[in-house]
Structure 1
Amino acid sequence: MVETTDQNSQPLNYNIQQRFHFIELIIQWEGRLTTNHLQQHFGVSRSNASQLIQDYLALNPHSLIYNNSLKGYQASDNFIPKFKQLDLTNYLKTTQASMQDQSKYLTWLNSPLAPIQPDKVRGVLQALKQKLRVDVGYASIASPEFESRIISPHNLVFDGTRWHVRAYCEKNQDFRDFVLTRFSGEYEFEGAAQFDQKHDTLWQTHLNVIIEPDPRLAQNKARIIALDHQMQLQPNGRYQRTLKIRAALLLYLLKQLGVVSYHVNPEAQQIILSPECLAQLQPYLPR
Structure 2
Amino acid sequence: MLWFSHLSAGLPFPMPRRQAPLDRLKAIETLLLWEGRVTNSRLREFFPVHAVQASRDLTAYREQAEHNCHPVPGERGYRATDWVKPVLTEGSFREYQQLVGAAGSEGGLQTGVPSESVLEDATHTSLRIFPVVHAAIRTGQGVDIEYQSLRHPEGTRRRIFPHALIQAGVRWHVRAYCERAQAFRDFNLGRVRSATAVPVSAPATGAEDVEWNTPATLRLRPHQALTAAQSQMIRLEYFEGTVGLALTRRAPLVPYLIQAYRAALDPDRELPPAFLLQVHEPEQLPPCARWAETSDGGVLGS
Deviation at 1:110, TM superposition (A): 3.2
1:252 maps onto 2:256 in alignment: yes
- The percent of aligned pairs where both chains have the same amino acid is 25
What TM-score do you get using the length of structure 1 for normalisation? Answer: 0.60
Match of 1:115 in 2: 124
Conserved 8 A contact 2:145-2:158: yes
Is structure 2 residue 151 aligned with structure 1 residue 174? no
Aligned amino acid, residue 220 of structure 2: I
1:188 CA drift (Å): 3.6
CA positional deviation for 1:89:
8.4
Shift in alpha-carbon separation, 1:106–1:143, aligned structure 2, 3 A: same
Unaligned 5+ residue runs, structure 2? 13-100, 292-301
More helix by share: 1
User: What letter corresponds to residue 210 of structure 1 in structure 2?
Assistant: R
CA spacing shift, 1:89–1:145, aligned 2, 3 Å: closer
Distance 2:252 2:237 in 1: 26
Q: Residue 44 of structure 1 aligns with which residue?
A: 10
Pick one of 128, 134, 137 that aligns with 1:125.
134
Q: Give the Å deviation of 1:271.
A: 1.2
Take 1:110 and 1:267, find their aligned partners in 2: how far apart are those partners?
21
- What TM-score, normalized to structure 2? 0.57
Structure 1 partner of 2:283 = 279
Residues in 1 aligned to 2:204 and 2:222: alpha-carbon distance in whole angstroms: 41
Residues 84-233 of structure 1: matches in 2 within 5 Å?
93=108, 95=110, 102=113, 105-111=114-120, 113-233=122-242
1:240 to 237, 241, 244: 244
1:191, 1:264 → 2: CA distance?
A: 46
CA RMSD of aligned residues (A): 3.3
Q: Given that residues 41 and 95 in structure 1 are in contact (C-alpha distance below 8 angstroms), is that contact kept between their aligned partners in structure 2?
A: no
Asked if structure 1 preserves the Cα contact closer than 8 Å seen for 2:104 and 2:119, the reply is no
- Alpha-carbon distance change, 154 to 141 in structure 1, aligned in 2, over 3 angstroms: same
Task: Please show how residues 21-60 of structure 1 align to structure 2 within 5 Å.
Answer: 42-44=8-10
For the 8 Å contact 1:135–1:189, the answer to whether it is kept is yes
Moved more, 112-121 or 146-155: 112-121
Distance 1:232 1:241, change over 3 A: farther
SS at match of 1:269: coil
Structure 1, unpaired ranges of 5+: 1-17, 23-38, 47-85, 234-238
* 1:73 aligned partner: none
Q: Distance in 2 between matches of 1:184 and 1:268?
A: 33
- 94 and 218 in structure 1: CA distance in 2 versus 1, 3 angstrom threshold: closer
Cα deviation digits, residues 1-59 of structure 1 (max 9, x gap): xxxxxxxxxxxxxxxxx9xxx9xxxxxxxxxxxxxxxx95751379xxxxxxxxxxxxx
1:269 aligns with 2:275: yes
Structure 1 residue 267 displacement after superposition:
3.9
Q: How far is the alpha carbon of 1:145 from its aligned partner?
A: 2.7
The number of residues matched between the two structures is 199
**Relative contact order, higher structure (CA 8 A, sep 6+):** 2
Superposition deviation, residue 153 in structure 1: 0.4
Q: What amino acid does structure 1 have at the position aligned with 2:280?
A: S
Query: For residue 256 of structure 1, what is the amino acid of its counterpart?
Result: A
Structure showing greater radius of gyration is 1
| Distance in 1 of aligned mates of 2:109 and 2:115 | 13
